[in-house]
Amino acid sequence: MCIRGGKDGIVTGIQDLNIDLQSNSPDQLSKQQWNELIGSKFNSPMAAIHIDRSLNSTKEPNFYPNSTLFMNCNRQHSMAFNPSQLLLHTGFVYELSNCVKRNLGRQQIFEHKIELPFKQVFMHQCPNPVKSKWDWGRNVIEVLHDKLISSSLIKRNHTSEYRRGSEHPESEIMCFEDLYVSTRSNHWIEGTANTVSFRRDIALKTGEPAAAKTISERSVDFNTMYQSYCTPGQQKPTSAKIKIYQRSENAYLRSIVNLKEVQEFIQLFTTQPVEIITTTEKMPLTEQIKKFNDFDILITSHGSHMANGEKESLHLFYLILHIIIVTSIQLFLPVFSVFLCFCLYTDQSLICLLFPPTI
């Protein structure tokens, strides 16, 4: 099984040569079956492909023996700053590591025996945050790396790590003895336990939010929600700290066009000044966390910044020091279903509120 430097697809054969596996057992998939399984129409970087036999390479293919854990970040340049694609295609590694740690010595994790720790970790079409000095990406990859080590999926002085951006030449061929990929490589970190654990690891790595290092979290039903800033009889105005989020300083804009009118209207509901905030991909992660720990109510346009790793993730990184409300302004129904998790600090623990996105 091979890949081409920086290009889409996992090479499983050569065109015009009938060497494709036929499905004779549940453990074998043909090229077509694999592509149907992963939904290659929407996930082409991981699709099985056959290459032209006339492909010329300037050098011999590189061969990686033993077991390799493989990730594809979806056509990202080595110098890219795209949080969504990074965490969207590597988050499964964090889930896998947690699963292994929880079940170690108790039950078998994988259906078949896998040579562990992995000999290689290969990140294809992925950015290089160290090279680009991207603080957000560097912190996330370090957390993923540490989690893999703690679960014994990789080992220091044993596992080699490789990265290729989308700019690498197609003539570079890399082949693997055993390549391990996940059909969940197009999903964000999911599940309350994984989300809570990830936030805590980020806090331990960056120092923010500081309280996450000393308290525990638990999920509660949305119906128990209470806002400390509410007035008796719901009289207006309240003392809520309300902010409006404008995603206006990056390549994927989410802007409120009548911002002044919205700000003036919202000001009628609170005695606190209504502020406009924004963040960018290049902003230090600790600064982003502080911004998203400083409001009671956030008004924002719909976007992936509300639920995943993109730009300034509310879901994964930020613990709010009191219960908050997030209002999503949407012009269309979201094509994905997510649950946001916001939290309330008590004396002993942090209570997370889970509720579906506004429609």
- What share of the chain in percent tops pLDDT 90? 31
Q: What is the 3-state secondary structure (H, E, C) of 104-119?
A: CCCCCCCCCCCCCCCC
Q: Classify residue 214 as left (phi > 0), alpha (psi -120 to 50) or beta.
A: alpha
Three-state DSSP at 143 gives helix
Tokens of 49: 């492909």
Q: How many residues does the chain have?
A: 359
Q: Which of 190, 194, 240, 196 is nearest to 218 (CA)?
A: 196
Residue 338 has pLDDT above 50, yes or no: no
Sign of the C-alpha dihedral computed for residues 109, 2, 7 and 42 taken in this order: negative
More confident: 66 or 358: 66
Residue 149 has pLDDT above 70, yes or no: yes
Q: Say which DSSP state 321 is in.
A: S
pTM of the model: 0.77
- Please give the Cα distance from 77 to 118 (Å, whole number): 25
Q: Where are the domains of the chain?
A: 2-180, 211-355
pLDDT tens for 223-232 read 555 667 777 7
Average pLDDT on 252-264 reads 83
Q: Say which DSSP state 273 is in.
A: P
